[in-house]
Structure formats: structure tokens, C-alpha cells
């Protein structure tokens, strides 16, 4: 019941056909070869897979892929995915139809039936890619281009930056109690609005224009003070009546022509719902958790929701994905995004702030410790060495609550220096990625 119709295959093929210069066989063959021939597990991926061993070993198809006959993998083991290779070969030869209208879709529906799910073959046949206009904002002269609903990322990012624009910080104020307090109070309002107003714009009138307006940024600023307001005092935006309308992967790419792509896709929770479709070699997602089961009930990331994100047939669930491109004078400057559930938005936001406000290079901006606040629970989570003791005490004296110490987000970004004609790629050391150039 937790799985939604997988959209990644249709989305990536659509992007390739509409905007790409290579054919599907060229781009998918390296993945087929890697799945067929295998690769050696490093310690991070081995530990990640092994962390779910108790679940995988009790699901026969998952056990076949993600365990060694029920036992944990060792670092350096060869990880081969023969079933996945065959699935990718079908997609290579038949395109989207091979996934959504043929053998693959039928096997997913069969697996769903076995596990008490409600998938029908029509769910796959009727799945369509929707191309939407991005959220476009402006922050201190930089153009911020990000993802629209049904992701909350672009609206939340633009809303936060519009409020923050009313404050200035010296470079040495990074990590100060004044900066952390200001950012936290803004984030509380952003997540209050996310819970109330955001969902699939095809099914709910999301007040996008107002939420990303400079006018509303000033409204947020005017409500702020030196003392923290409890989360229960933050109410969603009052919308003027005028006509308007944790298992995630991100990659940022720039080519020699200056084309830039920021892409995030996800299974939602760690390894989705843990179920591998027998014979196909891939995991199903648990994206249905991103819907609001009922108003005010938190999902697995602790995020609240309302009727705007209620479950409906054919509706897309609300996510936190925030793939973003920052432009200066019409040219891409920063291509950025992150996995991390509810921390995606705050991670991307802080990297952008670090680059623009605190003049960090992209390596420094990503490596700098993050903080996170999502309204509920009413606490500032922070990274190791991210908050000094005096800053913590100062924040507490201003009414903030200090939460848990944990790593937040895993940002992948490219900074483009047009003066030097150089690309600077950085992969977050918190995660498993890497920066490569060809």
C-alpha cells in the first residue's frame, strides 16, 4: 500500500527525448553493464545495505539482491544485479512502453497483489509525465530557479530567501546566534505554510504567487523579534483573495556548452518499502507516506500536512525535493540539490546563503555545518561542531530549543566561474557521491 507508481523511468526518458542529444541505448548501456558485471562495495554502501538486513532477509526477492544468502555483505564484495540488468535491457529496447505497458508493469502489479497492495495495470498505462514552469525568484540580484509543486522545495526556498533578504550578515557572523535565530524563525513560518498550503497544483489551488512574493517575505520579517516564538504560534499565511493560480538521489550536471541540469529522484524512505519485485531487481518506493493521511498527522519525516496534500486518485504526493539552479546575469552560477527528506530544503537553502551572503566557495559552502528546523518538533537540530556552547546558550536565552545532533542533507553542487572558465564540483562528504569531470 505504501508504493506509488514509479515515475523516474518516464521522467528521464522524456527529458532525454525532449532535450538530450544521445539516444536511449547510449545512455542506459553503461548502467546495464554495471548491473550485469557488478562492482565492489565500499564500506559506506555495504554498511548502508547491511543496516536493513533484518528486513531484506525476510522478503525472498529482496533477500536475493540485498543479502548474501541472508547474511550481511562484506566490504569489497562484488555486487551483481542480473535481474536489474534484464529490466534495463527491456527499457533500452522498448522505451517507456516496456516499463508501463508490458511485462514490467504486469510483474509489479502481481507483486502488489501478493503483498495486499492495490495497484492496477491501468495505473501504469495512465501514468503521464507533466512538465511545469519552475519557481523563479530573485535573491540579492541572483535568479533562483527551482522545482514547483508537487514538490514544496521551490516555494519554501524562495519564501525563505525573500524573508532573509531583509537582513544582512557580515561574513564573520556565519554560525552566530543572531544568524541562527533569524534563519530558524523564518524556517518555522516556511514549514507552517508547507503544511497548510502545498500539494499537487493539479488538484489544489496552491497560492504560489503570494507565497513567493516579496510582499509576503516582508510580512514574515515583520512578525519576527529577538525572542523565539513557539511553534504553536506560527500560523499559515492568510492568503489575499485575488485571482491566481531519506532514500533520495541528487545529481548536478553542467556541460561544455553551459547547459545545466539539477535532478532529484527518490524512493522516499531508506530503500523504499524494502520490497524488490521478483525477477525485476529493483525496489518499490514508499512514496504514499508523502501524502497526508489526515490533517495534522506527521509522516515518517515528522512533516505535517492538510487537505492540500490529501490522497486522491491520479494525484501526485508532496515532496521536499529542491533541485535548483542559481543564475547571475542570465548565466548559471550554481547547480545544486540534495537528498535528505525534510532536510533537503534547509540544506540547499544554507548552501545558497553560504555562497551568496557569506562568500564561501562551493566546497566550503557544502562542508559548513547545517542546522534544521521544520516547525514540529519545535527544536533546532544541528551537526557535530555546528553550534558552539556559547551560541547554544545564547539561542536558549532567546527562547529557542536545542534539538539533536545529527548529519543533515548530502548536497551535490557545481559552481561555474565564468571569468576563469572553470567548473568546481563538490560532493558532500556526508554521503556516498563524488565529483567527476569528463
Cell of 169: 550578515
Sign of CA dihedral 225, 226, 231, 233: negative
Do the beta carbons of residue 237 and residue 193 sit within 8 Å?
yes
SS3 letters across the chain: CCCCCCCHHHHHHHHHHHHCCCCHHHHHHHHHHHHHHCEECCHHHHHHHHCCHHHHCCCHHHHHHHCECCECCCCCCEECCHHHHHHHHHHHHHCHHHHHCCHHHHHHHHHHHHCCCCCCHHHHHCCCCCCCCCEEEEECCEEEEECCCCECHHHHHHHHHHHHCCCCCCHHHCCCHHHHHHHHHHHHHHHHHHHHHCCCCCCCCCCHHHHCCHHHHHHHHHCCCCCCCCHHHCCCCCCCCCCCCCEEEEEEEECCCCCEEEEEEEEECCCCCCCECCCCCCECCCHHHHCECCCCCCCCCCCCCCHHHECCCCCCCCECCCCEEEEECCEEEEEEECCCCCHHHHHHHHHHHHHHCCCCCHHHHHHCCCEECCCCCCCEEECCCCCCHHHHHHHHHCCCCEEEECCCCCCEEEEEECCCCEEEEEECCCCCCCCCCC
Task: Say which residues have a Cβ less than 8 Å from residue 430's Cβ, sequence separation at least 6.
Answer: 407, 408, 409, 410
- By DSSP bridging, strand 142-146 and strand 135-139 are antiparallel
Out of 87, 248, 343, 426, which one is annotated catalytic? 248
Q: Which of 415, 411, 438 is nearest to 427 (CA)?
A: 411
Between CA 268 and CA 119 the distance in angstroms is 18
Between CA 291 and CA 12 the distance in angstroms is 23
Q: Is 248 a catalytic residue?
A: yes
> Which residues are the active-site residues?
248
Amino acid at each position: 500500500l505504501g508504493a506509488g507508481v514509479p515515475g523516474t523511468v518516464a521522467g528521464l526518458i522524456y527529458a532525454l527525448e525532449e532535450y538530450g542529444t544521445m539516444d536511449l541505448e547510449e545512455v542506459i548501456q553503461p548502467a546495464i553493464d554495471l548491473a550485469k558485471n557488478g562492482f565492489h562495495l565500499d564500506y559506506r554502501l555495504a554498511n548502508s545495505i547491511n543496516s536493513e538486513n533484518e528486513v531484506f532477509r525476510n522478503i525472498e526477492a529482496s533477500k536475493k539482491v540485498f543479502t548474501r544468502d541472508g547474511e550481511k555483505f562484506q566490504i569489497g564484495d562484488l555486487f551483481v544485479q542480473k535481474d536489474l540488468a534484464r529490466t534495463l535491457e527491456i527499457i533500452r529496447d522498448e522505451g517507456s512502453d516496456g516499463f508501463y505497458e508490458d511485462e514490467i508493469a504486469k510483474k509489479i502489479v502481481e507483486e502488489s497483489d501478493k503483498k495486499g497492495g492495490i495497484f492496477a495495470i491501468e495505473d501504469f498505462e495512465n501514468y503521464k509525465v507533466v512538465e511545469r514552469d519552475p519557481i523563479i525568484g530573485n535573491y540579492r540580484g541572483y535568479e533562483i530557479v527551482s522545482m514547483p509543486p508537487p514538490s514544496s522545495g521551490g516555494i519554501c526556498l524562495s519564501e525563505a530567501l525573500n524573508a532573509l533578504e531583509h537582513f544582512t550578515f557580515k561574513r564573520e557572523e556565519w554560525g552566530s546566534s543572531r544568524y541562527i535565530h533569524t534563519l530558524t524563525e523564518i524556517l518555522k513560518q516556511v514549514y507552517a505554510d508547507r503544511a497548510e498550503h502545498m500539494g499537487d497544483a493539479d488538484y489544489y489551488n496552491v497560492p504560489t504567487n503570494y507565497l513567493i512574493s516579496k510582499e509576503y517575505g516582508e510580512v514574515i520579517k515583520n512578525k519576527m523579534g529577538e525572542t523565539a516564538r513557539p511553534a504553536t504560534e506560527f500560523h499559515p499565511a492568510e492568503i489575499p483573495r485575488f485571482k491566481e493560480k531519506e532514500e533520495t538521489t541528487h545529481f548536478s550536471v553542467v556541460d561544455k556548452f553551459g547547459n545545466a541540469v539539477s535532478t532529484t529522484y527518490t524512493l522516499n524512505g531508506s530503500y523504499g518499502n524494502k520490497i524488490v519485485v521478483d525477477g525485476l531487481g529493483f525496489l518499490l518506493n514508499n512514496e504514499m507516506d508523502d501524502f497526508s493521511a489526515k490533517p495534522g498527522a506527521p509522516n515518517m519525516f515528522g512533516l505535517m500536512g492538510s487537505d492540500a496534500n490529501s490522497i486522491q486518485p491520479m494525484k501526485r504526493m508532496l515532496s521536499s525535493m529542491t533541485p535548483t539552479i542559481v543564475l547571475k546575469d542570465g548565466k548559471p552560477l550554481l547547480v545544486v540539490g540534495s537528498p535528505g527528506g525534510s532536510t533537503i530544503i534547509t540544506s540547499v537553502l544554507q548552501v545558497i546563503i553560504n555562497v551568496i551572503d557569506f562568500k564561501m566557495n562551493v566546497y566550503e559552502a557544502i562542508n559548513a555545518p547545517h542546522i534544521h528546523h521544520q516547525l514540529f518538533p519545535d527544536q533546532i537540530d544541528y551537526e557535530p561542531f555546528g553550534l558552539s556552547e556559547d551560541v547554544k546558550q545564547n539561542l536558549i536565552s532567546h527562547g529557542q530549543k536545542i534539538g539533536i545532533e545529527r548529519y543533515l542533507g548530502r548536497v551535490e553542487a557545481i559552481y561555474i566561474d565564468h571569468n576563469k572558465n572553470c567548473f568546481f564540483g563538490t560532493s558532500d562528504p556526508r554521503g556516498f557521491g563524488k565529483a567527476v569531470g569528463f
